[in-house]
Amino acid sequence: MSLVSSYDTKEQVRQAIDIVDLVGGYLQLRREGRGYKAICPWHDDTRPSLQVNPERQSWKCWVCDDGGDIFSFIMKMEHVEFPEALAMLADRAGIALKPQRSEAAVAAGDDKRALYAAMAWAEMQYHQCLLQSSEAEPVRRYLDERGISEQSIERFHLGFAPAAWDWLQKRTAGTSFSTKMLETVGLIGRTTDGRAYDRFRGRVLFPIRDLQSRPIALGGRVMPDMAKENTAKYINSPESPLFSKSNQLYGLDVAREVIRKTSTVLVMEGYTDCIIAQQFGCGNAVAVLGTALGDRHIRLLQRCADQARIVLVLDGDDAGRKRAGEILELFIAENVDLRVLTLPDDLDPCDFLLARGIEPFDRLVGGANDALAPAVRIATSGLDLRRDVQQASVALDHLVSMIATAPRLRSDTTIDHRLREEKFLGRLAFDFNVPEEQLRTRLTQLRRNPRRKAAEPAQPQQAIVIDKLDPCERELLEIILQRPECIAQVAAAVKPEDVASSTCRAVLLKCLELTEQGVSPCFDRLLLEFDQPQLKSVLVECDMQGEAKGSQDIEARLRDLLATFRSRRDDAQRRTNVATLKQGQLNPAQEVELLEQLIQQERSRQGISLPMEG
């Protein structure tokens, strides 16, 4: 067995990393009692349902019915298998591992750790080029003219890609980074005849980083003197194993802490807008990556601050006003506190801040309208609501339909959401001069007959299938996890073949194996013995349920449970004996012997201990 998969190595990594710090690096945690809670990133969570137990170093989401330890969390969050998760956590802890994958596998670009390393290396090459190369002097002047400070260049790791077709490829000489790896992460492209070329040549570069501040992609703006006919002004990295533009926001790793403290985020449309806003003190500014803000972005922001207010800062041109209308339905449907700020005089945030300063900008942000105001303005543009009755009715029904896409109010709906819907309906009733009760009736009708949403593609099934535990098997695991010292008592009464569930049987066999080695089959040890995320989840679930039941009467519960398993085994043997008799294939002596066994079993079952008569 390689060092990568040995128990000692896994235990060393587990002890070096605190699960609260790990999960908190991805999700916004809030303290609750002795543990923590967070919005679960794997289902449409509106109330924090992912629990983190610092004492047991475990996590669990009861809605997803999933949980585990630090390894299974990274496997699920990063979409990697156990060896990669172990290696990523070992890197985080500064623990050296022997390589488990072959050099050929790494060179092929299928090792996610290697891809992260390739992106970090390339980012540094481009950054150093911008800072030091004489070829980048025009770029440095350009950034200065745009108002971007040297501090921002360092903070956002800005870079420059020279115009040569193979500048980056040549610099891989003597490194472990192959052309294939650079192509996998989108740094290298291919011509129609298959020749490799540097994708971002001739561009000033804006590295895109994830919440762990790891570079995962690049945005590039072509330098004016290097642009050719039909050259795109901006390009982003293509989708890759590290990057999906629908799941990332530019500058979020830098803005995250301010967003958490203020519960407010400014969402802009350009990298430069975000950087300049940060320079002017807007530490909560981020930017989209060439796509409209979507539901995944909303969930990403909610990880940073639950119930955050989102202020969408749009350019003041016609395109900016149009984009305001395109995304409003989404935000109303997601029940998010969205404010829309369209800047005046066709200015973008960068130009506005440089020309007019932070105070006028702050006033505009503070007075930004909620999502409904621009929606009404767009829907009623050019209409006389008092005279154009038919068209006004169509516009009103459209707006009520937008509100109907929000989740139906329930007993657990927050007060803010209730007030928001009341305010929307009240405003529409006033603007269109119709009774509010009429709008509420229409809203109810629409919610009873919702438009069908396209089904999301099914997630691929995991390779390992864990079968269901019956109540006795579940309680057996709960007790073992709370009292691992009872395994000898369990082993004397319950054999692995007595257990129907393969899940419970696997855990029981592992407990027996560890006991024979003189090792306690405690919760921490069992989590490290099994690499399968589903089995880790079962262990965490049983551990939490066992802890909730407490230690009171645990000895009595165990005695009753073991008696149940013995009774099950006796019943199974009795059924087998009866079936054997019915087959009629025994000789007379064998039949008498089997009948005597059945009589003795029945007496034992009824608590009768009389001797057998000849």
Q: Give the pLDDT confidence score for residue 317 in this predicted structure.
A: 56
Mean pLDDT: which of 43-52, 161-170, 546-555 is highest? 161-170
Q: pLDDT value at position 3?
A: 41
Nearest by Cα to 210 from 252, 245, 239, 241:
252
Rounded to the nearest integer, the mean pLDDT of the chain is: 81
Higher pLDDT, 382 or 456: 382
pLDDT value, residue 598: 66
CA nearest 316: which of 294, 293, 341?
341
CA-based nearest residue to 478, from 424, 416, 523, 516: 523
Gap between the Cα atoms of 555 and 575, Å rounded: 30
Q: Per-residue DSSP letters for 161-188?
A: E-S-TTHHHHTTTTSS--HHHHHHTTSE
pLDDT of residue 109: 40
How distant, in Å, are the alpha carbons of 42, 248, 312, 504, 515 from that of 299? 10, 10, 15, 36, 45
Q: Are residues 309 and 262 in contact, defined by beta-carbon separation less than 8 angstroms?
A: no
Q: Give Cβ neighbours of residue 278 (< 8 Å, ≥ 6 apart).
A: 152, 155, 251, 254, 255, 285
Name the phi and psi angles at 236, rounded to 5: -115, 160
Q: What is the pLDDT of residue 333?
A: 57
Please write the tens of the pLDDT for every residue from 119-140.
999 999 999 999 999 999 999 9
The answer to whether 349 and 343 are in contact (CB under 8 A) is: yes
Q: Specify whether the CB–CB gap between 156 and 279 falls below 8 A.
A: no
pLDDT tens, position by position, 329-369: 656 656 677 788 888 888 889 999 999 999 999 999 988 87
> In DSSP terms, which residues pair with 220 in a beta bridge?
205, 235
pLDDT tens readout for residues 483-534: 998 988 888 888 877 787 888 888 888 888 888 888 888 898 898 888 888 8
Tokens of 12: 């060393």
- The answer to whether 475 touches 557, Cβ cutoff 8 Å, is yes
Neighbours of 133 (CB within 10 A): 13
Residue 463 has pLDDT above 50, yes or no: no
pTM, rounded to two decimals: 0.61
Pull the structure tokens for residue 536. 């880790």
pLDDT of residue 261: 85
Query: Domains of the chain (ranges plus CATH)?
Result: 3-100 (3.90.580.10), 107-243 (3.90.980.10), 380-448 (no CATH), 471-566 (1.10.860.10)
The whole-number pLDDT of residue 12 equals 84
Residue 331 has a pLDDT of 60
Residue 528: the pLDDT is 87
- What per-residue confidence (pLDDT) applies to 462? 36
Q: Tell me if residue 611 falls in helix, strand or coil.
A: coil
C-alpha triplet 461, 463, 464: angle, nearest 5°: 110
pLDDT at position 452, please? Answer: 40
**Per-residue pLDDT tens over the stretch 82-93:** 888 888 888 888
SS3 72: helix
Top pLDDT among 381 and 15 is at 15
The yes-or-no verdict on residue 582 having pLDDT over 70 is no
Give Cβ neighbours of residue 611 (< 8 Å, ≥ 6 apart).
none
Alpha helices in 334-470 (DSSP H): 349-356, 358-366, 372-379, 389-404, 415-432, 436-448
Asked if the model's pLDDT at residue 161 lies above 90, the reply is yes
Model pLDDT, residue 390:
73
Burial zone of 286 (CB within 10 Å; 0-12 exposed, 13-18 middle, 19+ buried): buried
